[in-house]
């Protein structure tokens, strides 16, 4: 079996022994009647749990649209024009609208990146801002003690719209929904408090109810008062195949149900070797982002097996704190013990990698130097072929293999069909 797998800005080719490939985890098939902006417009015409956007917002209101940053695959340039059409139909002026990029803990954008995210046409019409964590307004505290301090242009807006894409998240359950607010436009202290609950067993991919991180995020949205949601689900080619609009809670849950039909993939059993890639840029631009694919791969590998992780990491590790944690602990177990007593944003992803290393051997194919890869507790490989050969030696020449071409999206599950 010959496959091409996303890596950086291009693809790498690998040949696999057909008889040993247990599964190639791709999206399930689904019937889609429309695609792209047409789906977004249809969703705006038929909101879930709320009235149509043009019937809810009023002329003269200050509107904040919170959308994803450049590390996310959300096609804001396709979604935002549809929202702006609705706002114009309601009589909202362009000058009363602000687009805010939900950076969370990520780096700021260049002006060219902002323009690329929203399109030239939108950028020339609407004010676009990055989150500034030094300009946040305290709005309340969740029942779990998370301070909800929100970027001022969002906090002081009369009407708030959250935009994003829905995919699996390794401790919030799913992305999208109120994550645009928490962590998207909140302070670092708020994010750290919320994310510290990632060590709890119920904080895991594919879980909403009873997930302490997600429930805290949803409560933050109630405190901040999110007025409207526009979320999409993307296929393997990053095309919009589902759009949901309306109530921030009800619409998000509908989108999550659709995601499950598309990306929750059953496997007959866990494999000796899992070959996983986030799918290329931007999801493998740095290790901080590519970690999501590794976490999903952990659901598919046997205890003691090998994960071959393709992630170019052309921007390095992607976070100073994450880097300090990855390089500053003598053993993976030290990171797990550290995060339990001293949660740090950035350190949380290092601890998540350590939790995978506790169960499996991880080989990294990347643009990073071999000695550096070894220093962060991973095994380097120069290319996917040599990584696979070494894994077959370690696990046995007849070892079975699962391939995850879109590791950040597909969630392997082994439960029997209901």
Measured CA to CA in angstroms, residue 340 lies from 125, 213, 224, 347 at distances of 47, 15, 29, 11
CB 75 within 8 A of CB 171: no
What predicted TM-score, i.e. pTM, was given to this entire model? 0.82
Copy the structure tokens of residue 336.
């797990």
3-class SS of residue 143: coil
- Over the stretch 50-92, which tens digit does the pLDDT of each residue have? 999 999 999 999 999 999 988 788 999 999 999 999 999 999 9
- Closest CA relative to residue 289, chosen from 117, 167, 147, 129: 167
pLDDT confidence tier of residue 29, bands split at 50, 70 and 90: confident
pLDDT confidence tier of residue 418, bands split at 50, 70 and 90: very low
Span 316-320, mean pLDDT? 92
Distance of alpha carbon 241 from alpha carbon 32, whole angstroms: 6
Distance of alpha carbon 41 from alpha carbon 245, whole angstroms: 10
Give me the pLDDT at residue 409, please.
80
pLDDT confidence tier of residue 28, bands split at 50, 70 and 90: confident
Distance of alpha carbon 379 from alpha carbon 308, whole angstroms: 9
Span 8-24, mean pLDDT? 95
- Over the stretch 368-386, which tens digit does the pLDDT of each residue have? 999 999 999 999 999 999 9
- Over the stretch 332-344, which tens digit does the pLDDT of each residue have? 999 998 988 787 8
pLDDT confidence tier of residue 238, bands split at 50, 70 and 90: confident
3-class SS of residue 333: helix
Give me the pLDDT at residue 218, please.
97
Copy the structure tokens of residue 123.
């950028």
Give me the pLDDT at residue 99, please.
98
Give me the pLDDT at residue 31, please.
66
Residues 6+ apart with CB under 8 A from 50: 56, 228, 245, 246, 247, 250, 251
Give me the pLDDT at residue 33, please.
63
Give me the pLDDT at residue 27, please.
78
Is the pLDDT score of 151 beyond 70? yes
Is the pLDDT score of 142 beyond 60? yes
Helices within 264-397 (DSSP H only): 287-297, 320-328, 332-341, 347-357, 370-375, 384-395
How many other C-beta atoms lie within 10 A of the C-beta of residue 76?
26
Give me the pLDDT at residue 303, please.
96
- Closest CA relative to residue 40, chosen from 249, 251, 220: 251
Judged on CB neighbours under 10 Å (0-12, 13-18, 19+), 171 is buried
- Over the stretch 345-359, which tens digit does the pLDDT of each residue have? 789 899 999 999 999
Span 235-245, mean pLDDT? 89
Q: Using only C-alpha atoms, what is the Rg of the chain? A: 21
Span 215-243, mean pLDDT? 93
Span 186-190, mean pLDDT? 91
Give the containing element (helix H, strand E) for 80: helix 76-89
Range with the poorest average pLDDT among 26-40, 60-74, 167-181, 236-250: 26-40
């Amino acid at each position: 079996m010959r496959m091409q797998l996303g890596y950086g800005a291009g693809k790498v080719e690998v040949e696999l022994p057909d008889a040993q490939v247990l599964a190639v985890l791709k999206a399930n098939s689904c019937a889609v009647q429309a695609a792209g902006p047409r789906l977004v417009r249809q969703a705006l015409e038929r909101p879930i749990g709320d009235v149509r956007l043009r019937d809810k917002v009023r002329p003269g209101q200050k509107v904040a649209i919170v959308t994803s940053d450049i590390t996310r695959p959300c096609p804001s340039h396709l979604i935002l024009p549809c929202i702006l059409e609705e706002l114009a139909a309601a009589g909202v002026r362009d000058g009363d609208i602000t687009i805010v990029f939900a950076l969370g803990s990520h780096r700021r954008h260049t002006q060219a990146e902002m323009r690329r995210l929203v399109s030239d046409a939108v950028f020339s019409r609407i004010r676009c801002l990055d989150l500034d964590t030094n300009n946040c307004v305290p709005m309340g505290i969740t029942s779990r003690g998370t301070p909800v301090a929100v970027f001022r242009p969002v906090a002081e807006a009369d009407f708030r719209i959250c935009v994003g894409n829905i995919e699996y998240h390794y401790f919030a359950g799913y992305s999208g929904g109120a994550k645009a607010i928490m962590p998207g436009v909140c302070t670092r202290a708020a994010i750290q408090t919320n994310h510290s609950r990632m060590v709890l067993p119920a904080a895991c991919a594919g879980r909403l109810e009873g997930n302490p991180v997600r429930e805290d995020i949803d409560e933050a949205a109630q405190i901040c008062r999110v007025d409207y949601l526009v979320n999409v689900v993307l296929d393997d080619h990053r095309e919009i195949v589902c759009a949901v609009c309306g109530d921030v809670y009800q619409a998000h849950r509908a989108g999550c149900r659709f995601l499950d039909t598309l990306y929750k993939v059953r496997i007959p059993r866990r494999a000796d070797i899992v070959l996983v890639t986030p799918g290329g840029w931007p999801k493998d631009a740095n290790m901080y982002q590519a970690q999501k694919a590794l976490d999903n791969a952990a659901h598919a590998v046997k205890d003691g097996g090998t994960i071959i992780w393709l992630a170019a990491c052309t921007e390095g590790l992607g976070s100073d704190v994450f880097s300090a944690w990855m390089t500053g602990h003598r053993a993976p177990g030290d990171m797990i013990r550290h995060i339990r007593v001293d949660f740090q944003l950035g350190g949380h992803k290092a601890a998540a990698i350590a939790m995978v290393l506790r169960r499996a051997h991880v080989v990294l194919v990347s643009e990073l130097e071999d000695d550096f890869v070894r220093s962060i507790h991973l095994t380097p490989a120069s290319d996917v072929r040599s990584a696979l050969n070494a894994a077959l030696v370690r696990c046995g020449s007849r070892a079975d293999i699962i391939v995850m071409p879109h590791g950040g999206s597909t969630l392997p599950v082994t439960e029997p069909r209901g």
